[in-house]
Amino acid sequence: MSTARPTDTQSLLSRLAGTQAFELELIERAALSPSLLKLVLRGAPADLGLEPGQDLMFAVPLEGGDGSFRRRYTVRRQDPTTGAVELWIHTAAGGPGTRWAVDTPIGSTIEAIGPRGKITLDAVADWHLFIGDLSFVSAAYAMAETIEAPGQALFVFEIDEDGDEVLPELDEGIGVTLCLLPRDGRAIDDPSGLFIGLKAIEFPEDVGHVYLGGELSVVAELRRALGARGLTKEQISAKSYYRAGASNAAHGEPKKDTQTPIAD
């Protein structure tokens, strides 16, 4: 993990328009599946203005020392009355952020900054395809559950273990195609499983939008594959959550290079 000192809160707020800082208290933890953990935290303003798919930046405390590092977690949903936020955290990759999510005691507090993120549902599209691994499922489901009938939601997701088949809660009027692919021992930066799922999906007619999320190089390969199938860059929203073999930077994002162009 990078031990570089993260940007201080006031500097972040001055650079991130429309965000605010607040303290959250962990009030609930539950396993949704072998690889997904649900956390519920209270203390966020009920009028925070979160769009589906956006996240909060957390100041995760350093293990065994002073200070913190930044990690971003998508808000699965927010209670409109109390403001409490629910997170779904992918635990399979491990790392210090995951250990915080798994081990921090109920009642612990943590600073959050938000809302963050440019990717949310394309309201103009007639169909929506979500592709990625379980690090993306929280954002994907949050966006998909705002699709209005008679829209279509298509999902291609790679799951880590049996029992990871967690489903979205969609309106009955939404057409749904769901493809869940076991990882079967593939490395987290191996896109071949998701390529199989993508190949099996026939794009519906009318205007569509595709949302990608997961390991940085996999997202890049999927983006190129979608371009080869005729989608324009305006029809693709891509977000990398982590990078194989490297901890995220102190600001919470995976380190990128010129060979792997990914835009939020």
Residue with tokens 């394309």, as numbered in its chain? 122
Same domain, 95 and 141: no
Structure tokens at 177: 């195609």
Same domain, 135 and 65: no
Same domain, 78 and 147: no
Question: Does any domain span residue 121?
Answer: no
pLDDT of 40 > 50? The answer is yes
Same domain, 144 and 112: no
Question: Does any domain span residue 42?
Answer: yes
Question: Does any domain span residue 250?
Answer: no
Same domain, 77 and 164: no
Same domain, 60 and 18: yes
Same domain, 57 and 131: no
Question: Quick check: pTM over 0.85?
Answer: yes
What was the pLDDT predicted at 261?
A: 40
Question: Does any domain span residue 28?
Answer: yes
- At 103, the amino acid letter reads D
Name the domain count of the chain.
2
- CATH number of the domain that 57 lies in? 2.40.30.10
- CATH number of the domain that 159 lies in? 3.40.50.80
Question: Does any domain span residue 160?
Answer: yes
pLDDT tens digits, 72-118: 999 999 999 999 999 999 998 777 889 999 999 999 999 999 999 99
Percent of the chain with pLDDT over 90: 78
236-242: strand order across its sheet: 175-182, 152-159, 127-133, 208-215, 236-242
pLDDT tens digits, 175-229: 999 999 999 999 999 999 999 999 999 999 999 999 999 999 999 999 999 999 9
Residue with tokens 């966020």, as numbered in its chain? 44
Same domain, 178 and 105: no
Same domain, 177 and 79: no
Residue with tokens 């599209």, as numbered in its chain? 125
Same domain, 155 and 97: no
Same domain, 84 and 149: no
Question: Does any domain span residue 164?
Answer: yes
Provide the domain limits for residue 72: 9-116
